[in-house]
Amino acid sequence: MLPIDAAAHSSRWRRRHPAEKALLGFGLTLCAVSLPPWPGAPLVAATTLAVLLGPAGVPGRALWRAFRIPLGFCVTGAVPLLFEVGGDRGFVALAPEGPTQAVELLLRTSSASLGVLLFAFTTPVSDVLPRLVRAGVPAPVVDVALVMYRIIFLLLDSLSKIRQAQAARLGHTTRAATWRSLAGLGATTFVRAFDRAQRLQSGLAGRGYDGTLRVLVPACALSRRFLAVTGVLLAGLVALTLVLERLLP
Amino acid sequence: MHIAEGYLPPVHAAAWGVASAPFIVHGVRALTREVRSNPESTLLLGASGAFTFVLSALKLPSVTGSCSHPTGTGLGAILFRPPIMAVLGTITLLFQALLLAHGGLTTLGANAFSMAIVGPWAGYGTYLLLRRTGAPLMVAVFFGAFVADLSTYCVTSVQLALAFPDPASGVLGALAKFGGIFAVTQLPLAVSEGLLTVLVMRLLTQSSKGDLIRLGVLGGRTAERREGATA
């Protein structure tokens, strides 16, 4: 399993309704993106971190491992903002507003990423997909996504085993061998994906498959208390940011 | 190149979502039609989507010495056609955001526009054009994958330049800046992805001819000719 999905399946909030967690996680992300980066983003980031490490019980190390990926993209993406090209001060020069813009972007992207991670670390994708039909997503699209979700892990497992087998046969020792092994890996994955689909089809045909994948969705009620606390938290964050924006330099 | 969560200003994020919507809706209609007329294709399409997701887990050696991963949009578009790829690509991007923290939800529209729409259409258009002018399959596959990869990065550069215009030279300056940075890594990567796609397709024509004929990549005559050549 992928680390985020494994953490989501064993999360303390696993039994909570996905809509509750979506409101909280995506609400925080929306706040991070729409509020002024200073002081909005640090406030949103601090709140999200407190929820993640506190009530949601996400392990700090797992969170850092997942967070460093978007953080790397954020840092790389902020670097070009430090420079300007084709101005009066030379072909490439430091942009006067560049550092401020780059820091604001870093703050915004980091806090927005944490909001999505809050949802991802507490809600397995398998809990979300079957409920999307009620949200208006066409059933065939949801069914395709469900099959994708199930086959992805099998294919990733095959990929890792084939890679190990190729390495054991000196398949990665030279550049030419690496290319051959990569091509073999891609083609074998394709063949296995289609083989898996055909076997799944045979199995389902024996069980009266009529084109709809019926899965059990664990019943869980929406908690009004959770929704109310989330609403107050988000409203509080917006209000605090707008007040602090006037007070702080 | 996935645009990270929160990277785009809200108006830009929403605008790219609106721009992607018609293509995704068109793809959803095509997929729904296909599934309703042929129920077992759900499983085949799911397997195709999973293959697209897993392609991005392949580490590709780059000419610059570093490693990156293929976008898989060219191969996906050649195998499954661009409208279907718009849906499969968007689901893949959603999974990448939720399972790998790669990309984002506010930037899903922008990422879908570059990776699930422009890349597949540009790559497939190039592939089809070359095939119709009589180019050999592998040449068409190489340029299809190359153009799909490169057009994805060009669109990403435009998206970033529009969001962050250069203070001195505006959008064009920013486009040169982001495009210049991408060109160093992405030109060699586009060549690498083209080569990898050719190698994968060569193996597939040997091992999964039936699947390729069913997907319409190989015509009956092409397959027979290949069989004759092998014999």
DSSP, residue by residue, A56-80: T---HHHHHHHHHHHHHHHHHHHGG
Beta bridge partners of B166: B170
B48 CB neighbours in chain A (<8 A) are 193
Looking at chain B, the whole-number percentage of residues with pLDDT higher than 70 is 89
Task: Provide the pairing of β-strand B60-61 with A83-87.
Answer: unpaired
Number of domains in chain A: 2
Same domain, A143 and A78: no
Task: Select from A101, A108, A189 the Cβ nearest to the Cβ of B51.
Answer: A189
The predicted-structure confidence for A68-97, as pLDDT tens digits, reads as follows: 888 888 888 788 888 888 777 777 888 888
User: CB contact, 8 Å: A58 with chain B?
Assistant: no
Same domain, A18 and A111: yes
Q: Which residues have C-beta within 8 Å of that of residue A139, sequence separation ≥ 6?
A: A133, A212
> Cis peptide leading into A18, omega within 30 of 0?
no
The predicted-structure confidence for A152-199, as pLDDT tens digits, reads as follows: 988 888 888 998 999 998 888 888 888 888 888 888 888 888 888 888
pLDDT at A170: 86
3-state secondary structure of A148: helix
Same domain, A148 and A237: no
Same domain, A197 and A242: no
Q: Which residue has the tokens 């990567």?
A: B189
H/E element holding B55? Answer: helix B41-55
Same domain, A227 and A104: yes
Residue A213 lies in a domain: no
Lowest-confidence range among A48-52, B15-19, B173-177? B173-177
Looking at chain A, the whole-number percentage of residues with pLDDT higher than 70 is 100
Same domain, A44 and A116: yes
Q: CB distance B7–A105 less than 8 Å?
A: yes
Same domain, A104 and A223: yes
Residue A47 lies in a domain: yes
The predicted-structure confidence for B189-209, as pLDDT tens digits, reads as follows: 888 888 888 888 888 888 778
Average pLDDT score, chain B: 84
Residue A211 lies in a domain: no
Structural domain of A186: 131-206
pLDDT at A85: 83
Confidence at B12, pLDDT banded by 50, 70, 90? very high
Q: CB distance A85–B173 less than 8 Å?
A: yes
B17, pLDDT greater than 90: yes
Among the listed residues A43, A173, A118, A223, the one whose alpha carbon sits nearest the alpha carbon of residue B98 = A118
The predicted-structure confidence for A113-155, as pLDDT tens digits, reads as follows: 999 999 999 999 989 998 888 888 998 899 999 999 988 988 8
Alpha helices in chain A (DSSP H): 3-9, 18-34, 37-53, 60-78, 98-122, 125-128, 139-168, 175-205, 224-247
Distance of CA A46 to the CA centre of its chain: 19
Q: What is the ipTM of this complex?
A: 0.90
Among the listed residues A23, A19, A27, A14, the one whose alpha carbon sits nearest the alpha carbon of residue A222 = A19
User: CB contact, 8 Å: A126 with chain B?
Assistant: no
CB-CB neighbours of A199 under 10 Å: 11
Same domain, A117 and A138: no
Choose between A90 and B107: higher pLDDT: B107
A58, pLDDT greater than 80: yes
Same domain, A107 and A185: no
B228, pLDDT greater than 70: no
Candidates A21, A83, A101, A148: best to mutate against B (most CBs of B within 10 A) is A148
Confidence at B60, pLDDT banded by 50, 70, 90? low
Q: How far is B73 from chain A (nearest CA, A)?
A: 14
pLDDT at B220: 54
Q: How far is A223 from chain B (nearest CA, A)?
A: 23
Residue A198 lies in a domain: yes
Same domain, A164 and A184: yes
Q: Which residue has the tokens 């919507």?
A: B21
Task: Select from A108, A182, A205 the Cβ nearest to the Cβ of B6.
Answer: A108
Same domain, A117 and A232: yes
A95 CB neighbours in chain B (<8 A) are 166-168
Q: How far is B135 from chain A (nearest CA, A)?
A: 22
Among the listed residues B131, B29, B54, B123, the one whose alpha carbon sits nearest the alpha carbon of residue B82 = B123
Q: Supply the pTM of this predicted model.
A: 0.89
